[in-house]
Chain A
Amino acid sequence: MGLAESIILAVLAASTPLLLAAAGELVAERAGVLNLGVEGMMIMGAACGFAGAYVTGSTAIGALCGIVAGAALSAVFAVLTLGLAVNQVATGLALTIFGIGLSGLIGASFVGEKIAAAPHLFIPVLTDLPFVGRILFGQDGFVYLSLALVAAIWWFLYRTRAGLVLRAVGDNHASAHALGYPVLTIRALAVLFGGACAGLGGAYLPLAYTPFFIPGMTAGRGWIALALVVFASWLPGRLVAGAYLFGAVTILQLHAQGAGLGIPSQLMSSLPYIATVLVLVLISRARATAGSAAPASLGLVFVPDR
């Protein structure tokens, strides 16, 4: 396997958890809900996903456990922010603190254990093609799933009536309410979907990326996923480009560390975070002139009148 091929494979693997989590958050934000608890939902997905896969020996059941864990955590968020009209920023932070602690409790007994990594697709002939074979036809299921998910979200948001209603709720909840749409129900469903995706993205880490669980293994990926949604201007297509760009930054800095260029490893490790700040600044500056792309009701509390 050539260096370029191995780098591309590594980038795909590093990008997938970001893409999964960001795709879910994009739907929640399109419905007008800013859930800052992505990091907490991801790490819970990682802990429960690993626990499920370790106990049953099945990657699929592990992934399912991750999805359920993420969705369960997001349900707490939905009850507080939608049911009790609590500030979304503060609740999201609480969700992250809670998720990190609870995942540590759940995962404590699994630290040091190993599982078989998620199986990779193998199609005779196609997977053996030089260079493109492994990249196109030899990934684990999560990679294909993440891309299919983004395509499905695009189709849902722009080609279905329900998607149109969801965007309307996110852009002007008062009008959507006046038209008779159940704003809070739609938002709750969007939040649950976001939580499920974040849980799946988190589960990807111990199930496919590294075949073991470490407390805090998401290492800020949930926050980067949040930044990716801003980067993508809330458009599903751009989310893919953004996720792969960030995956590339992560992998290239790892290779640069391995090559021993004499640059402090800490500087290289900080690149994904610094890049996130720079990208946010550049995107926000560009938007200041072109008008904001954010859903107009994003992060605002809504209490229906009667």
Chain B
Amino acid sequence: MRLALERRAERSVAIAIASPLIAIALTLITMTMLFASLGKNPVAALAVYFLDPLTDPYSLQEIAVKATPLVMIAIGLSLCYLANVWNIGAEGQFLIGAVAGSWLAVKTQGTDAGAWVLPAMLVLGALGGALYALIPAICKVRFGASEILTSLMLVYVADLVLDYLVRGPWRDPQGYNFPTTAEFDSVATVPILIEGSRLHLGALIALVVVAVAAVMLGRTIKGFEIRVVGSAPKAARFAGFDADQLTILTFMISGALAGLAGIIEVAGPVGHLQPNISPGYGFTAIIVAFLGRLNPIGILIAGLFLALTFIGGEQAQIAMKIPLDLTKVFQGILLFFVLACDSLIVYRIRLMPSHRRATHGIG
């Protein structure tokens, strides 16, 4: 006997709905075993990870703060992945967006520049991210170079650009030689939504992005084109859809959103430009996009959930001395299970008799 995949006659709606939940459940079971193997009480650890942040108002705000960049980046990436375009360099576009916007904040520092500074910074951030994403898009369209590899290589370059600027030309002269710019002026800072909290305007911008993406994908021709080019490239060619143009468009949109997330993060929660402004938002957003099934509303929920794991991971480190790397392990396992469960929407696993064609080993 052997196990083999068999294509379902039609997509299983029941599994499509249940799949993310099954994936999360399987991940939690795996995590329980992992906690136990680390010598920690699994029940207590899971509570610190997933329940405690939900019961205290400060952590709830922090979840929204962390979810903001994740959701914005993941929305952009989902457009790429729907069009079968593989931008995995969002981390780099995030950093370059932060750099591009910060340029204005640094240049206007200490001047009496007015309230136009922040909007201009946001535009520059989005522009910077979009242009940085244009590099792999053009390499792909013009020369056929794999966008996976080029967009990823540019992450390392972006990291070094940021590092150079905050250690060199933009370093705060009064900063005791720390690699950081001076704190941004108040006109260059994202306003706080609720007095005394860290919840900022970026959270609202992220919600607007989700709404716009939902309308664009569901109600416009462009959204339709993106889906067709991704799922049925031949049909798209017959329909006259330009795949190259869509590659450039989706790359630029996702770059712009990542760049916008970058400048909002710097001008919001961080308050100045420094290395390590991202705990890997650009990579975690890939998981958010898939967990949210490349659907804007799904991404919003998935973004909040993964933000919860960031907060829970930090608290577990403080309270139970659980290494922070466990959060990455958790995210990786979650993505494995999400992808595996998604496969069962289209296929079913069947037990097959193995007498036919003995040369066929595992199915």
The chain A residues found within 8 Å of chain B, CB to CB, are: 36, 40, 76, 80, 82-87, 89-91, 93-95, 97-105, 108, 180-182, 184-185, 188, 215, 219-220, 223, 226-227, 230, 264, 266-267, 269-270, 273-274, 276-277, 280-285, 287-288, 303-304, 306
Q: How far is the CA of A98 from the CA of B4 in the complex (A)?
A: 27
Residues in A with CB closer than 8 Å to B5 are 83-85, 303
In the complex, number of A-B residue pairs with CB atoms less than 8 Å apart: 174
Q: List 21 A-B contacts (CB under 8 A).
A: A80-B339, A84-B339, A87-B339, A91-B339, A94-B336, A97-B328, A101-B331, A102-B329, A102-B332, A104-B325, A105-B325, A180-B359, A185-B362, A269-B160, A273-B153, A274-B157, A277-B145, A277-B149, A280-B146, A285-B145, A304-B363
Q: Is the C-beta of B119 less than 8 angstroms from some C-beta in chain A?
A: no
Residues in A with CB closer than 8 Å to B164 are 264, 266-267
Q: Which of B139, B335, B340 contacts A281 (CB 8 A)?
A: B139
User: By the criterion CB–CB under 8 Å, are B340 and A98 in contact?
Assistant: no
Q: How far is the CA of A105 from the CA of B157 in the complex (A)?
A: 27
Interface residues on B, range: 35 or more
Q: How far is the CA of A270 from the CA of B96 in the complex (A)?
A: 15
Question: Residue on B with the closest CB to A183?
Answer: B360
User: By the criterion CB–CB under 8 Å, are B339 and A288 in contact?
Assistant: no
CB-CB under 8 A for A182 and B139, given A220-B156, A266-B161: no
Question: Residue on A with the closest CB to B335?
Answer: A94
User: By the criterion CB–CB under 8 Å, are A101 and B356 in contact?
Assistant: no
Bitwise, B160-187 to A at CB < 8 A (1) or not (0) is 1101100110000000000000000000
User: By the criterion CB–CB under 8 Å, are A182 and B361 in contact?
Assistant: yes
Q: How far is the CA of A303 from the CA of B343 in the complex (A)?
A: 12
Bitwise, B1-45 to A at CB < 8 A (1) or not (0) is 001110100000000000000000000000000000010000000
Q: Is the C-beta of B50 less than 8 angstroms from some C-beta in chain A?
A: no
User: By the criterion CB–CB under 8 Å, are A86 and B149 in contact?
Assistant: no
Residues in B with CB closer than 8 Å to A304 are 4, 360, 363
CB-CB under 8 A for A285 and B333, given A36-B148, A223-B153, A303-B7: no
